[in-house]
Structure 1
Amino acid sequence: MGGIKRKEAPSGAVKSEKKQKTSQGKPTKFEKPAKRSHLDEAAENDGEDEESDEAQQKSQSNAKGGPKNFKVETTSAEAHAKQRQLAKERKAAKPHADEIQRSKQLWERLRRKSHVPKDERKELVTELFTIIEGRVRDFVFKHDSVRVIQCAIKYARPEQLKGIVKELQNDVRDLVESRYGKFLVAKMVVQGDREDKDLIVPQFYGHVKRLINHPEASWIVDDIYRQVATPQQKAMMLREWYGTEFALFGKQRPNASADQTTANLKKILEETPEKRKPVLSYLKQMINNLVQKKMTGFTMLHDAMLEYFLALDPGSEEHSDFLDILKGDIDADEEGGGGDLFRNLAFTQNGSRLLCLTIAYGSAKDRKLILRCFKDNIELMAFDNYAKMVLVTGLDVPDDTKTTSQIVLRELLGLQMEDSTQRFDRLEGMITNLNSRVPILYPMAGTQKWLIKDNEKALIDEVHKVRETTSKKAPEVRRQELISHVSAPLLEFVADRAQNLVQSSFACQPVTEILLECHDKDNVHRDAAKEAVAQLADGNPLEDGHIAKDPAASRMLKTLVSGGNFDPKTKTVKLSEPRLGFGKALYPIIKSNLVDWACSDSSFVVVALLESEDVPEKIKGEVKKALEKGKKKIQKAADGKEEKGEGKKKGNAGARILVVGLLLLF
């Protein structure tokens, strides 16, 4: 009872040997997300690491308390022999003792997969199923025999597995609460087909609240929710967080239609406004209970928290109280400063969205406090599909760009590393990764389609809508300030690694954006990067392996010569400021092979030299004269060759544009 101090145990009391409840399933501290979930690991656990029978018996014997009284004339060896004999007799007296003993012998042989020939393994599996068929329940609640059923599932045919699932269907809840049985449930859901999964998942309906707080069952139920359950099954499980009424509904109608099982809390409350207060109160209590217990790694919790947050009215007292609950997880007196809740939220889809909205709604102090929680995890977050958007929001919302640059950009760019080679190696790996390049390039490229996916853009638009009421600084001012922080390091990086970067199609676009948007004092680093990229065009563009043969590199050179990105709305090129002047750097390098460039796969680079407003008129005049001299060769490339069986000619599109232009000019 709360508030009553428990009495001290009597001094003569025997110390209890009862095992302490395990906290294996409680994600009490934030850890680096593993590539494999608990569910997958449990499904591969055949029980090899479990206690031996003898050790288990010793533990049980010791738990009974009191020293053993042996006769003086009995030797230690005789006493031990007698104990072993008594243990064998007790085991033999248990139901199905012979079958269990034989099945364990089969398991001992089968688990050494590499040592068992295929034909022998087939015979052993057949014998094993002969023993366990129809009596699976007699095996699964014992620590030493449950591993036999796990082994059977591992080698079972689909129809055999289906038989095991149907026999254990009504025992699933008891199994997930068992220290050993939970591994069996993991194997069934991982190796079973959709029909098997649909038999298992509904067994949790009506019991989610209890199971998510259970030390053994919590993590496996959450993994089944995240990895196995269908959207409708997820909704049914999540609805139980809204109150007892929803739990009873799932228990009574496990096969309800999709319209009846929505987990959209805002929609539910709009349809039944009279339930708003009790539902929100019940959900808040469940959320707060898990947060206080530091059990913040569950995907189901993150989904429930987002539903609760979206159902609240911004600026209301409930809204402010919920933000305080989230911030309450940060404790300066705790080792590491706390903040495990924020770090866990960042790595799930709905958790990431909730965190982005929390940053957007927070004050300047709140934003700084939240971002500092991620200080040692910035690189890890950048490579994650969901956590990267938290970093984007952390750059896109706060007005204090100096602080956010120190917390986020400094870690992303590795500016704390003294060795430039190591720093560039690390940055090269991040720039060529589709996830980690997003927060690095977002200040330059914004929401361009090649960088941001549609669902990510929807989240950014949602954050921007909130930002209009919570931030004071103009978006373009914030963007330019962020660019000024990253310009020198990124331009220096491009100048050093240009050769490596253009070999990756994923890096050519970043190189383009860095050269167009970044600029430093006196353009020292920008000019060096520009020259390094231009030098890559040296040589014959018609030879294999040349940069002109690579479509991604070709587009990069064309855009750089144009001096900016093409704006589809205005149908014009938006020139960078200050002007890049890449055409002036490129022309001397390709001058001797200009006609070949006009006939190559990168002929549009030459077209850009004639059309771009960023290219000096003097260079345009020299290009026209050189093309006029090679007009016949360009015309031949434009005409192309007749394709077999089609009766059509496929020529060089860029060369055709150049030929038409020459005809108009001369």
Structure 2
Amino acid sequence: MAPATKKNSKRSAAQDSKPAKKARISVESSEDELDQLSEASSSDDDLDEIISGDDEDEGDEKKENEDAEVKEGEGSSNHGEQRKLLKERKLQRSSGSEIQQIKNVWEKLRVKTPPLPKAIREKLCDEIWNLSKDNFSDLILKHDASRIVQTLIKYSSRERREEIVNALKGKYYVLATSSYGKYLLVKLLHYGTKNSRQVIINELHGNLRKLMRHREGAYVVEDLFVLYATNEQRQQMIREFWGSEYAVFRDEHSNLTIEEVCASSVEKRNIISRNLLGTITASVEKGSTGFQILHAAMREFVKIADAKQTTEMIDLLHEQFAELVHTPEGADVACTLLSKANAKERKLILRSLKDHAAKLITNEHGNMVFINILMCVDDTVLVYKTFGPAIKDVLGDFITDKYGRRPFIYILLGLSGRYFSPIIKKELERYYEMASKTSKKDPHARRMELMDKFSNIYLNTVGKEYDSILVNNIGTQFISEMLTSDEFYNQLDEKNVAKYQEILSSIAIYFKGDVTEENHPIHDAFSPRLLKSLISGGKWNNKEKKVEPFEHITELGVPFAAKFYDEIIDSTNLLVWINEPDSSFTIVALYETLNSADEGKQFVKDLKAVKKEITTEATNKGAQLLLKLMK
């Protein structure tokens, strides 16, 4: 679970806990990954002994292996005869002598260390091209011969690649369903132009539903959709899943959404939903639940699904729910199903996600699913029991993660505009609107219940790991929001209030030391903001342009400011704090809070004593502001 993020790294969280599935064909991480994948079934030393890819070759190889077994005991003297016999059989096959000649040149071309000079590489490519251009049909489906064409594609010019694409017209479906040809096809997609990719898509069009049910073809369609297709081509591919009519008459439906088509006819809705559900069910049963193109088809289905069909989808997917949440399409499907599910169905879904909490929460898309769980599931006890144990030990990592902190910020602040963009807020609110028929609790009451249950984990984590969290901007923001949340403080019992006070003391001590030292935490840009939020004693109201005092928190404001000055700053280092640009704004915050308070008399007295020694350099705007306030 997760994102990303390159596209070929998107895998479900479930894959780490399940037996490894067949690797998707992908070339983004390395140009040579396809070469490695296609070579996986044999070593280079044994390459000349492996010829496979069609029934005739497989029969020959089987016979050769039987001959070898019979002669195994006859001593090493017969080994040379066996190799000679094998070589003769290869040469007798279709284009055998030409293929052997091509392979001899290819062995020189494929050398990587040391890299071949460009001129030599081009010369070898020309030799292979001249020998193979009339024999592609004999090359593309054989294991080692297919790799020859792959290498030629990799090192050839754009024009020659176009010629290869045109030479293979009419064979792309065969390539997509071939154990070895699929590597060649993906190589063409990777190195091909926009036009050549369109040629391949056009030829495969009409067969995508069949390919999605094919063991080899499904991986080709997935990579085509995720890595190489344009947005327009993706839409074309998805519409094919609606049914035959939309595959044959693709241009007539190119600008229509599935909702528009289904709104025009109940019969069309039934046909499309039946086709989509059939493809989805067959693909899930084949083990393709983690495929992004299948998630896109699922998203089309849930847009038009009625209550009964939604239940069918949940029954089909609840055990593999974790395989949905790592793509934007899959996360949308997961959120929609969660929102429309009843209490019993939600319990099944949460159970399937239980072991994947960490990757669910830190994944860009899975994160949305977890927030939707917090927003929609009324049984907050179930939510806490399901995810609390997994969160407890790694919350420190979550709150310092760009995506991982968002669910825990939601518990503190709701969908605050400071942390949730308008697009994200709109999506989450759309899911909650769907859930209004099955979720009965008031959203604020549900959030308060979650806050009460998670507060102990929050305080324990921050209390133990504050020093490692405070070196991180994101983590410091979270601590600031937690400590200055009136609602959070109001939920605390006496024991947790004591933990809260210990955290405040630890944070104050964290800033003790010589601020002129380069590694002092006050030099982190986010540290003065944290101290100001604790010293000010309230939340800044941007509309009113003033600080609104806390309603419940009594430890912040004047008490914290006075304690901070007594324990961290005194008359001996006050001037240093003022003259350092990074720390000067902390003194400004202390002055604004303590100037008129009885607890601040000593501070004001010490400040007046050093006033004449305050430097007002252009870089020290804090000191300039302090002198202005003291006038």
Question: Is TM (by shorter chain) over 0.5?
Answer: yes
8 Å Cα contact 1:554-1:605 kept in structure 2: yes
Q: State which of 335, 351, 359 in structure 2 corresponds to 1:372.
A: 351
Distance 2:453 2:478 in 1: 17
Query: Any idea what the Cα deviations from partners look like across 1:417-443, whole Å, max 9, x if unmatched?
Result: xxxxxxxxx444333221222234331
Q: Does residue 1:297 correspond to 2:290, yes or no?
A: yes
Cα deviation code 1:13-66 (max 9, x no counterpart)? xxxxxxxxxxxxxx9995139999532386343632345554558951476899
Alpha-carbon distance, 1:544 to partner: 2.6
Match of residue 26, structure 2, among 29, 34, 39: 39
> Structure 2 residue aligned with 1:353, among 332, 349, 366?
332
The aligned residue for residue 167 of structure 1 is: 167
Mapped contact 1:371–1:407 kept (Cα < 8 A):
yes
Partner amino acid, structure 1, of 2:40: D
The letter for the 1-side match of 2:163 is: G
Task: Determine if contact 1:501/1:507 at 8 Å carries over to the other structure.
Answer: yes
Is 1:627 the counterpart of 2:611? The answer is no
Deviation at 1:189, TM superposition (A): 1.7
1:601 corresponds to 2:582: yes
Q: 1:248, CA displacement in angstroms?
A: 0.3
Taking the aligned partners of 1:382 and 1:28, their CA distance within structure 2 comes to 12
Whether 2:8 is the aligned partner of 1:48: answer: no
The percentage of counterpart residues that share the same residue type is 28
Whether the 8 Å CA contact 1:46–1:147 is kept in 2: the answer is no
Q: Which has the higher contact order (CA 8 A, sep 6+)?
A: 2
TM-superposition CA deviations, 1:513-562 (whole Å, max 9, x none) = 23234554322211111111111222343443322222111212112222
- Measure the CA separation in 1 of the matches of 2:97 and 2:160: 23
Work out which of the residue numbers 446, 459, 468 in structure 1 matches 2:414. 446
Aligned AA (1:530): L
1:401, 1:482 within 8 Å by CA — same for their partners in 2? yes
Q: Gapped runs of 5+ residues in structure 1?
A: 1-26, 313-317, 331-338, 415-425, 642-649
* Distance (whole Å) between structure 2 residues aligned to residue 443 and residue 616 of structure 1: 36
Structure 2 CA distance for aligned equivalents of residues 249 and 563 of structure 1: 66
1:132 Cα deviation from its structure 2 partner: 2.9
CA displacement, residues 281-335 of structure 1 (integer Å, 9 cap, x when unaligned): 33233333334444322212211222221224xxxxx2233223322445xxxxx
Pick closer, same or farther for the CA change 1:360–1:611 going to 2, 3 Å: farther
- 2:307 is matched with which residue? 319
Q: How far apart are the structure 1 equivalents of 2:157 and 2:313?
A: 49
Question: Partners in 2 of 1:632 and 1:196 — Cα distance?
Answer: 76
Say which structure is richer in helix.
2
Normalised by the length of structure 1, the TM-score is 0.79
Aligned to 1:261: 254
Between 1:54-63 and 1:342-351, the stretch displaced more is: 54-63
Matched residue, 2:363: 384
1:285 corresponds to? 278
- Code of the residue aligned with 1:269 in structure 2: it is C
User: How far off is 1:101 after superposition?
Assistant: 0.6
Q: Contact 1:46–1:151 (CA<8 Å) still a contact in 2?
A: no
Query: Which ranges of structure 2 fall in alignment gaps of 5 or more residues?
Result: 1-10
Equivalent of 1:578 in 553, 569, 577: 553
Query: Which is further off, 30-39 or 429-438?
Result: 30-39
TM-fit CA distance, 1:100: 1.1
Matched with 1:99 is 98
Cα drift, residue 572 of structure 1: 4.3
Q: Over aligned residues, Cα RMSD in angstroms?
A: 3.6
Which deviates the most, 427-436 or 38-47? 38-47
1:86 offset after TM fit, Å? 5.5
Which residue number in structure 1 is paired with residue 430 of structure 2? 462
Matches within 5 A, 1:173-184: 173-184=173-184
Matched, 1:493 2:461: yes
1:410 is aligned to 2:389: yes
Is residue 584–residue 616 contact of structure 1 (8 Å, CA) maintained in 2? no
Structure 2 CA distance for aligned equivalents of residues 177 and 67 of structure 1: 29
Q: 2:474 aligns with which of 494, 498, 506?
A: 506
Q: Any idea what SS the aligned residue of 2:456 has?
A: helix
Q: Does the CA contact (< 8 Å) of 1:165 and 1:196 recur in 2? A: yes
Moved more, 79-88 or 135-144: 79-88
The CA deviation string for residues 128-183 of structure 1, in whole angstroms up to 9 with x for no partner, is: 33433454344212233111111222333333333323322442222111110001
Q: Partners of 2:299 and 2:59 in 1: how far apart?
A: 46
> Deviation digits for residues 561-598 of structure 1, max 9, x if unmatched?
22444343554445363334233442221344344434
Task: Work out whether residues 562 and 600 of structure 2, in 8 Å CA contact, stay in contact via their aligned partners in 1.
Answer: no
- 2:354 aligns to what SS in structure 1? coil
Q: What is aligned with 2:526?
A: 552
Q: Which amino acid aligns with 1:91?
A: K
Per the TM alignment, residue 474 of structure 1 is displaced from its structure 2 partner at its CA by 2.4
